[in-house]
Structures are given as structure tokens and as C-alpha cells.
């Protein structure tokens, strides 16, 4: 690596102090080597599937006898109709393309190689015969000549009527142009669709309104960027507005529930027929439970807000400084795009390799007598390795984004003169990540993978056993899934702070996680205030963008008279709007978390005296000064805050 000679001696001592950006050293090198070996294994899987002929079978397609379309084929042992010359037959045609295996997600129909796909619907065997004579494309079994296409041989020909089809670009499969086959498949997956005509209208609605959908997606993008600017300038007012609205909303919701309960209880029971009396009693009991739960929630929320009201000021200051960070580091806004682009590239590679694996291996007969390609022996477990690779590498890419953002924000915070910032702090952070800290990112992402895989296995077991397991087993499974989900969220938060600590002090993952955890525990109340008020405000921002985009969608779709069903286009737009808002505001949330850890370290090791000047922004400095004044005025009554500010007042 050529960088490990600069390891900090302070990191090795038992009593180590933070030295932001002073030393750089390689971290967690063994984990980087392990990750590189794992990626080599992923490359081997891809190479194996391509080398075994799977690439040709995937791209060109093959018939039910193992012949690859568009080329000469070698004879397969004990497989009839194999070894045919399909040089002139370049397309895969399914005799019954709508015969779907909904359990295994595949087409059960016999497949043949043909010279051309039928572009028009063929209603009779006579039409099939004319198509073969005119286009030289025989759609029945290979041992039948077009002159033998009679009703007695109908079982050897495609199911009538033969739907119009067109070849899929790059994959040479004849796919039906009509969506009826796909509607049938979707109908089995979407239980609430009982009528194909409904699904047809939904899909046609999406196709008709694709320009509107694209425009609304761009609108959500613009709204997300505008909201980030707005938060920067009205953070002080916005946080207090959100806090007040949450309290008033809780009080109002609780009052409405109690009012509904009282009204329902006083309503005369004599007018209710006996069949509905039990339903009315169940509703009354449910209202009572809801009202009590809402009351408890409101009381707890009110106490939390009352207890942490002084710490809301820090959240306001951090949001204000976060806005300044985006002004000094404008490339942060585009960070979600690069991450998403990298994820899409990897997912495309992963899916292509998965498809290669699906056509790799040796030819075997299935129960229908058709040829399938299956991998046998130890190599059949490549699927599991490939799935683990999907999770680990995806988490690695996301962790690289977190480390990049953390490195850029740390550089901004711990540079006293902001005019001396690097020309591009983001690129400087990427450079430090690649040179020194890829091992730390690999280790952190692997820990998340270790938690995510068991949760996915349990979720798969729960879906497979649905309706078969007893109530106790179902409860245990759901509890385990919930616990693993909570653990994953906690580890994600700790990992992000560990990456920040690594960006500050260039320590390995475990040391950084321990140091960050200690700082977070020392500032637990501040962390709670930021994660409750700040995160809730950002969540409301996401909801605001979704609502604005959805409202604009309703207004625009109202003028679209070609169809009447708005559900699917509106759902697509709202989901995309939430995804875009989440990408932008999650970067904002990440910046706030990094700033808080930097602020906590700054106040712990500096007190503003000569030689120990603060690094923080003037806005945060005002918060510290106001806290000191409040502490002096509170006297003994501010003992709790005194303990909180004690590290900041530590003497040299």
C-alpha cells in the first residue's frame, strides 16, 4: 500500500487523544485483502458461467432440446432432436407462452428455434401453415413439415390463437406483444386484482401518462433540492414549528379519540339490530384502547419534549451549519447520484451473472422430457456465494458513500480557516478513502451483512411457512425478525459514527467504533434530541415532497382523459418522490450526524483558551456561550448541564 509507515503512535497508547487530520495510516488491511479475495470469487462465478457456454445460451437462447439458436450444435447424449443446425433459426419461440409456472417463476411451454417471430396473431392452423410457407419459419415441432399442419397434429403445434410477438432486443426471444400473459402472472401475485380488465387499464394508464410521470419525477427532484436550501435558512423557525405541531397533533388526535369514544358510548343501543350489536361493542372497545394508547403516547412525548427543550437549540445550530456545509461543498448534493449509479451498475452485473448461472451446467432432462442446464457438485452452492456478494458489495458501496461524506465534512469542520479548504474536499475524501480506509469500510459493511443475512433467511422461512406454523412459532419468528432489524439499524448508526471517527483520527474500525460510542454515550441526551427532533423534521420533509408531488400528479392526471385509473401512475410517482427525497435528505441527516460528533469531540478536548481554540462555526460557538451563561445563571439547579459541559471546561 505504501502508506502504513505514517501510523500514529498516539493510536497505540492506552490514553490516546483525538488529533483530527494530523496523521493518516492504513486501517484494517486484512479485511481489505479478504474483501478483494471475495470479489475475485465473484469474478470466478461470472467467468465460470460464461466459460461453460451459459453466455451463448442466455443471449441467443436455446430450445427444449438443448440446441442454441443461431448456430450449429453438437449432439447431446440420449437427448433426441439435439445437435441440430439452427444457423438460420435465430429466435426462441414458445408454443404456449402463457403457460406459466407461478411457483418456480418460469415458462413451462416447449421452446423451439424459429427463423422469425409471428408479428400478427395466427388464429388457425391454416394461418400457421401460411406463415411457415411465406416466412420460412416453422412454428410446430421439428419433425413436422408445413404441409402436415393438420388438426390431428395440433398437439405438436403452438396453442391457438398464436399471439402476435416481437423479439426481445439482444436476447432473441419471441415475447407476446399483448399484455394478457403478463396480466395473468401479475394477477396471481397481486391478490386484490380479480379482473384482468382492471390490470389492463392500470398498465395502459402508465403507458399513456409516461410523460406526466417523468415530469412529476423531475418535479420531486427539484422540490428536494429546494427543501434543502429552505432548511438551511429557516432551520430555527422550522424546528420549533415541527416540535409544536407534533405536540398539538398528538393532543388533537388524543382528544378526537376520546370524543369518538364518548359519543359512541352514549349512542342508544336500542336502535341497533342484534347482529350489529357485537360489532358496535368491538368498535367501542377498540376506540377505548386507541384512546388510552394515544394518551400514554402524548404524555410520554410531552415529557420528552419538556425534558429536552434546551437541547433543541443544538439541533437548530447543527441544521444551520449543515446548510453552510452544502454551500462550501456543493458536490455533496450529487453524492446520492454517484452512489445510485454505482449500485445500478453492480446490480446489473449481479443480475446478468445470475442469469448466466441459470443457464450454466450440464444438460439434464426434466419431468416433461425437456432439457434443463443444472450445476452439480460443490459448484451448485455458487448461488449462495452470489447472494452474499449482493448484500456485502451493496453495503460496501453505501458505506463508501458514508465514509466519503464523513471525510468531506470532517475536513470542513476541522479546518479553522474555511478559505484554506481543499479545492474539492469531496475528491480529497475519496482519495483518502481509497488510499487508507477501504479495509475499514469492508469490515463495517461485512458486520451489517452478518446481521442482514439471518434476517432475510427468517423472512424467507416466514413466507414459506405462512399459514402452516402455529401462533407461537409465528410470534417467535416475527420477534426474531424485529430484533434483527433493530440491531441492524443500531449497527448502521454506530458504523456511520465509526467511519466519522476513522476520518478524523485514522484509526481502525473497532477503535473508531469504541471511541465514537463513548462520545455518543457522554452526549446521550443531545443524541436523543437530534435523532428525535431532527430526524422527525426530515421525515416530515419527505412527506411534504411526496404530498406536493402527489397533489401535482392528481391535478395533471385529472386532465388526462385517455383512461380513468390513476392508482398505478400515482403510486409510481409517489414512490419515486419518496426515494428522491430520502436520498437527498438522508445526505443532510448524515451531515448533521457527522457535525454533531465533530462538535462533541471539539467541546471535549478544547475550551477556547489559547492553544485550545474551538474549531466550530460561529453558530455553534453561540450555542456554547449561551449554554455557559445558562449554566452560570442556573447555579446548583443546573447540575445536570454542568456534568454535560464539564469536559468542555476541562483545564490543561
Q: If you ran DSSP here, which 8-state letter would residue 612 be given?
A: S
- Judge residue 251's burial from the number of C-beta atoms within 10 Å of its C-beta, 0-12 exposed, 13-18 middle, 19 or more buried: middle
Q: In this predicted model, what pLDDT tens digit does every residue of 591-609 receive, in sequence order?
A: 888 888 888 888 888 777 7
Residue 23, Cβ neighbours under 10 Å: how many?
A: 15
Go through the chain and tell me how many residues it has.
652
Q: In this predicted model, what pLDDT tens digit does every residue of 548-557 receive, in sequence order?
A: 787 777 777 6
Omega cis (within 30) before 10: no
Which cell is 16 given? 490516546
What are the angstrom distances between the C-alpha of 492 and each of 344, 389, 481, 488? 21, 19, 16, 6
Q: How far apart are CA 148 and CA 145, in angstroms?
A: 5
What are the angstrom distances between the C-alpha of 104 and each of 100, 101, 108, 185, 206? 9, 6, 10, 12, 28
Q: How far apart are CA 340 and CA 54, in angstroms?
A: 29
- Judge residue 131's burial from the number of C-beta atoms within 10 Å of its C-beta, 0-12 exposed, 13-18 middle, 19 or more buried: buried
Domain edges within the chain: 56-182, 205-267+277-342+523-607
Residues of the chain with pLDDT under 50: 1-15, 102-103, 105, 185-202, 561-565, 636-652
Rg, Å, the chain Cα set: 32
Residue with cell 492506552: 14
Which neighbouring-strand residues pair with 166?
Answer: 175
* 400 touches 371 (CB < 8 A): no
Query: How high is the pLDDT of residue 346?
Result: 94
Amino acid at each position: 500500500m505504501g502508506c502504513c509507515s505514517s501510523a500514529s503512535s498516539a493510536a497505540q497508547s492506552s490514553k490516546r487523544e483525538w488529533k483530527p487530520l494530523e496523521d493518516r495510516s492504513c486501517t484494517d488491511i486484512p479485511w481489505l485483502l479478504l474483501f478483494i479475495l471475495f470479489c475475485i470469487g465473484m469474478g470466478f462465478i461470472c467467468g465460470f458461467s460464461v466459460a461453460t457456454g451459459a453466455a451463448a445460451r442466455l443471449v441467443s437462447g436455446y430450445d427444449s432440446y438443448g440446441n442454441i439458436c443461431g448456430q450449429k450444435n453438437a449432439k447431446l447424449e440420449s437427448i433426441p432432436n439435439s445437435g441440430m443446425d439452427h444457423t438460420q433459426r435465430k429466435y426462441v419461440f414458445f408454443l404456449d407462452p402463457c403457460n406459466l409456472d407461478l411457483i418456480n417463476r418460469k415458462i413451462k411451454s416447449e421452446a423451439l428455434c424459429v427463423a422469425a417471430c409471428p408479428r400478427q396473431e395466427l388464429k388457425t392452423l391454416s394461418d400457421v401453415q401460411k406463415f411457415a410457407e411465406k416466412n420460412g419459419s416453422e412454428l410446430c415441432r421439428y419433425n413436422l413439415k408445413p404441409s402436415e399442419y393438420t388438426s390431428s397434429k395440433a398437439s405438436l403445434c403452438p396453442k391457438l390463437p398464436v399471439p402476435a410477438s416481437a423479439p426481445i432486443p439482444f436476447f432473441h426471444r419471441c415475447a407476446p406483444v399483448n399484455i394478457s400473459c403478463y396480466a395473468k402472472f401479475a394477477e396471481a401475485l397481486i391478490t386484490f386484482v380479480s379482473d384482468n380488465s382492471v390490470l389492463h387499464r392500470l398498465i395502459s394508464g402508465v403507458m399513456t401518462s409516461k410523460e406526466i410521470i417523468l415530469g412529476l419525477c423531475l418535479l420531486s427532484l427539484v422540490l428536494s433540492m429546494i427543501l434543502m436550501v429552505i432548511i438551511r435558512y429557516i432551520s430555527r423557525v422550522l424546528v420549533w414549528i415541527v416540535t409544536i405541531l407534533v405536540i398539538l397533533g398528538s393532543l388533537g388526535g388524543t382528544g378526537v379519540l376520546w370524543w369518538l369514544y364518548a359519543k359512541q358510548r352514549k349512542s342508544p343501543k336500542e336502535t341497533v339490530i342484534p347482529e350489529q350489536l357485537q360489532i358496535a361493542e368491538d368498535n367501542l372497545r377498540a376506540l377505548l384502547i386507541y384512546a388510552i394508547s394515544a394518551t400514554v403516547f402524548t404524555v410520554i412525548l410531552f415529557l420528552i419534549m419538556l425534558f429536552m427543550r434546551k437541547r433543541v437549540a443544538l439541533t437548530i445550530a447543527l441544521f444551520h451549519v449543515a446548510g453552510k456545509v452544502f454551500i462550501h461543498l456543493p458536490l455533496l448534493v450529487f453524492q446520492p447520484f454517484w452512489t445510485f449509479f454505482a449500485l445500478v451498475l453492480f446490480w446489473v452485473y449481479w443480475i446478468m451473472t445470475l442469469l448466466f448461472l441459470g443457464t450454466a451446467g450440464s444438460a439434464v432432462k426434466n419431468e416433461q422430457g425437456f432439457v434443463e442446464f443444472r450445476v452439480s457438485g460443490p459448484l451448485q452452492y455458487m448461488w449462495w456465494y452470489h447472494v452474499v456478494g449482493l448484500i456485502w458489495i451493496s453495503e460496501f458501496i453505501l458505506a463508501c458513500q458514508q465514509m466519503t461524506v464523513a471525510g468531506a465534512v470532517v475536513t470542513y469542520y476541522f479546518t479553522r480557516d474555511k478559505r484554506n479548504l481543499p479545492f474539492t474536499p469531496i475528491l480529497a475524501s475519496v482519495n483518502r478513502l481509497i488510499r487508507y480506509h477501504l479495509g475499514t469500510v469492508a469490515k463495517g459493511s461485512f458486520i451489517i451483512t452478518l446481521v442482514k443475512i439471518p434476517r432475510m433467511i427468517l423472512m424467507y422461512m416466514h413466507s414459506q411457512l405462512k399459514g402452516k406454523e402455529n401462533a407461537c412459532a409465528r410470534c417467535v419468528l416475527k420477534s426474531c425478525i424485529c430484533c434483527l432489524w433493530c440491531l441492524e439499524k443500531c449497527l448502521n448508526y454506530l458504523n456511520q459514527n465509526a467511519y466519522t471517527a476513522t476520518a478524523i483520527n485514522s484509526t481502525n474500525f473497532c477503535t473508531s467504533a469504541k471511541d465514537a460510542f463513548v462520545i455518543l454515550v457522554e452526549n446521550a441526551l443531545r443524541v436523543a434530541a437530534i435523532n428525535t427532533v431532527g430526524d422527525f423534521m426530515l421525515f416530515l420533509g419527505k412527506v411534504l415532497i411526496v404530498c406536493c408531488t402527489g397533489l401535482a400528479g392528481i391535478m395533471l392526471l385529472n386532465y388526462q382523459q385517455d383512461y380513468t385509473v390513476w392508482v398505478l401512475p400515482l403510486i409510481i410517482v409517489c414512490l419515486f418522490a419518496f426515494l428522491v427525497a430520502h436520498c437527498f435528505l438522508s445526505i443532510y441527516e448524515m451531515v448533521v450526524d457527522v457535525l454533531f460528533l465533530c462538535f462533541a469531540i471539539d467541546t471535549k478536548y478544547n475550551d477556547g483558551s489559547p492553544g485550545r481554540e474551538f474549531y466550530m462555526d460561529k453558530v455553534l460557538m453561540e450555542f456554547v456561550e449561551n449554554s455557559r451563561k445558562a449554566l452560570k445563571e442556573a447555579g446548583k439547579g443546573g447540575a445536570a448541564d454542568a456534568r454535560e459541559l464539564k469536559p468542555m471546561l476541562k483545564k490543561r
